[in-house]
C-alpha cells in the first residue's frame, strides 16, 4: 500500500481515527464494518471503496482534506510527495486495472502513449512537458 515513508493507516477497530496522512478504508467490506469508525479527524486523504462512499458520508469528519472513492477491490498504488514517472511506467502492463493515487506532485518525464492504470488520482499537481500526451483524435 504505502510506497514511501508517509503513514498509511487502516483502522485497528472501532473508534476514532485522527492525525494521519492517509486513511485507507478500502479493506472495509460492509456498511456496518465502516460505521464502527465513529469519527475521522485531521486526515489529509481518505481512500474508501466506491460502494461505501455514501456510508462514509454518515461518519462525522473534521479537517479532512480529500476523500477519494476507489473501485471495490482495486489494486492501489499510493505515493506521496514528488513522484517522477515516464510514459513507459504509466503504460506498464503490471498496472493494468490498478489505481494510482498520488498525494503531492506527479511529474511525467516523457510522452505517454498509453495509460494502463484503470484510474489515476492526483491530489496536488501534475507536471508534464509539452507534448507529453498526444492530442485526442478529433470526433
HEC states along the chain?
Answer: CECCCCCEECCCCCEEEEEEEEEECCCCCCHHHHHCEEEEEEEEEEEEEHHHHHHHCCCCEEEEEEEEEECCCCCEEEEEEEEEECHHHHCCHHHCCCEEEEEEEEEECCCECCCCCCEEEEEEEEECCCCCECCCCCC
Using 50, 70 and 90 to split pLDDT, how confident is the model at 15?
A: confident
pLDDT of 108 over the 60 cut: yes
Q: Are residues 47 and 99 in the same domain?
A: no
In this prediction, residue 113 carries a pLDDT of 84
Residue 28 domain-assigned? yes
CA distance 61 to 47: 14
pTM of the model: 0.77
In this prediction, residue 67 carries a pLDDT of 95
Q: Which structural domain, as residue segments, surrounds residue 35?
A: 8-70
In this prediction, residue 119 carries a pLDDT of 92
Using 50, 70 and 90 to split pLDDT, how confident is the model at 9?
A: low
pLDDT of 135 over the 80 cut: no
Residue 26 domain-assigned? yes
Amino acid at each position: 500500500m504505502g510506497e514511501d515513508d508517509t503513514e498509511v493507516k487502516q483502522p485497528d477497530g472501532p473508534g476514532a481515527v485522527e492525525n494521519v496522512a492517509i486513511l485507507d478504508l478500502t479493506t472495509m467490506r460492509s456498511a456496518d464494518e465502516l460505521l464502527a469508525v465513529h469519527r475521522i479527524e485531521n486526515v489529509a486523504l481518505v481512500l474508501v471503496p466506491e460502494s461505501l462512499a455514501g456510508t462514509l458520508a454518515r461518519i462525522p469528519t473534521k479537517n479532512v482534506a480529500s476523500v477519494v472513492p476507489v473501485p471495490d477491490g482495486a489494486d492501489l498504488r499510493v505515493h506521496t510527495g514528488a513522484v517522477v514517472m515516464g510514459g513507459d511506467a504509466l503504460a506498464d502492463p503490471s498496472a493494468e486495472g490498478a489505481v494510482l493515487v498520488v498525494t503531492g506532485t506527479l511529474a511525467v518525464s516523457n510522452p505517454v502513449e498509453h495509460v494502463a492504470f484503470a484510474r489515476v488520482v492526483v491530489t496536488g499537481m501534475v507536471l508534464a512537458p509539452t507534448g507529453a500526451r498526444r492530442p485526442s483524435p478529433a470526433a
